[in-house]
Amino acid sequence: MTGQHRLRGPRKPSESRGVMDMGGAKRTYTAVVLVAVAALIAGLGIWAGRSEDPESSGNSLPGNAASGALPTGPCAPTDALVPPCGAWWGAHVPYAENGSLKDAVLGFEKRIGRKLDLVYNYHDMSGTELDGQLLTPDEQELGKDRLLMLAWESTVWTEPHHENWTETQLGWKNIASGKLDKEILDPQIRRIKAYGKRVFVSFDQETDARIKEGAGTPEEFVAAWRHLHDRFRELGADNVVWVWTVSGYLGSANDMKALYPGDEYVDWIAMDQYNYYQCHDTSDWKDFLRSQQPSYEWLRANVTDGKPVMLAEFATAPDADNPLRQRDWYTQIPAAVKKLPEVKALVHWNRPTSEKAACDLTVDDGPGLEGYREAGKNGYFHQPVPPR
């Protein structure tokens, strides 16, 4: 099942940013978040750790990161951050064991032999500094010479950085109604506005999988997306590039089609497709093109053909019987992706989906690293990254 929502799979404790919050600190985090959620649902109008005044809450707004001259010439990115001459090379990298995203990204870049164009990170709507604050200090530091993509989920994670993937859904209808604007949405929108530099934002990525998780109906999602989009505009945060992300699993075709907010509300469309191979108990090895092309073509034919496409998560599982298969899967990407000409960003999902060796999607060592390093050298993935 290529469309199975891998974010809900089990994780090793060492993969979680929560390893730095042991014992009482972790319990306190959980208690505070759960109390805040209960209060919100009860309509009491409070939210743990948030304030309209950033100074009073101890959370200062980010500094304006927009600086320097924009690239010029035929390969200069568009206003929507589309690179005309190639594609962005990005990754989602889990936090380091010391709790640092910066250390994790720099370590990953050292292994792959290049700087990432795009760093993809996830946040909930708790408002906590650990998980619910968009543009953390680490993200701001990394964003100085990289693009950032922030996945903002309309949930509150029970444990720090979603350690066991348990959460409370806030509900798309509650977002669409505006009742969460003042305490939850607006403080984060102001942070992005203050940052100034353009950022990719994906609201409730893999949204088709969230219907069964209780987030709401497709109609409620469309209303929530449009409300969030309009709220950014109302507050003057015009430095957002909107990325609509679905799983790409064609078993959810009807839902994906119904979930699209409309071209005027979306800048990019994105999907998360993998070669899971034996991780999902199949014997069908899909090369890069076969893992991506069916969903790519379906989205362009049935949702929109006027937007660039992002592979917001992609990776291959290994083949224990033929380890070099994983290397070759990655080395084939530069040639294969040109057969998907509207794919303008590729974001590797660099973490296992379970403790099974067959589900290790990382390229931290071995043949996978060798192939990924080679693919990343290709000139197609070396485009001028804008500083603003």
- Cite the active site residues: 206, 313
Identity of the amino acid at 118: L
If we measure between CA atoms, which residue out of 302, 170, 165, 186 comes closest to residue 233?
Answer: 186
Exposure class string for 225-263: b at 16+ Cβ within 10 A, else e: bebbbebbeeeebebbbbbbbbbbbeebbebbeebbbee
**Whole-Å CA distances, 2 to 5, 74, 139, 279, 295:** 9, 37, 30, 10, 10
Under a CB-based contact definition with an 8 Å cutoff, are residues 268 and 310 in contact?
yes
Under a CB-based contact definition with an 8 Å cutoff, are residues 336 and 373 in contact?
no
Element (H, E) at 376: helix 366-376
If we measure between CA atoms, which residue out of 341, 380, 386 comes closest to residue 85?
Answer: 380
Structure tokens at 220: 């409620």
**Nearby residues of 101 by Cβ (< 8 Å), 6 or more positions away:** 17, 93, 95, 119, 121, 136, 138, 139, 142
**Whole-Å CA distances, 28 to 23, 227, 236:** 9, 33, 35
